Amino acid sequence: MDRAIAGRVPLTYSNNAEKRLDKQQIYQDLSRLLDEIDTMPMDDAERRRLHGIVRELESHIEEPEPVERHNELVDTVDDLISRFETEHPSATGVLRRVLNALSSMGV
């Protein structure tokens, strides 16, 4: 997975033309999340699953999917926040920022 993401342009969300979120910051957050996932104690299958979720998030940020899929991703991130909240606070912080970005995106 390519973590060196630079030169991204700000994303304007369709639900509010004035609401802008810098995609580069989201990608940096996701890269930090990958680094955090790589240090968490878990089996390889769970690590691959979490990496897959991050790839889905990256893809969704580039090309938002239908509302149903958007809502599934938001729910997945919300579940991860609940799961990691106590043991992995820095991952939880990144996930909250990503969740806020996804919630703001709308489709």
- Highest averaged pLDDT of the listed ranges 3-12, 28-37, 68-77: 28-37
Distance, in Å, from the CA atom of 4 to the CA atom of 1, rounded to the nearest integer, reads 9
Sheet strands (E) in the chain: 10-12, 20-22
| Whole-Å CA distances, 51 to 10, 16, 54, 90 | 24, 30, 5, 17
Distance, in Å, from the CA atom of 32 to the CA atom of 2, rounded to the nearest integer, reads 13
pLDDT bin (cut points 50, 70, 90) of residue 30 is very high
Length of the chain: 107
Q: What is the pLDDT of residues 63-103, one digit of tens each?
A: 877 878 878 888 888 888 888 888 888 888 888 888 887 67
Domain boundaries, the chain: 21-105
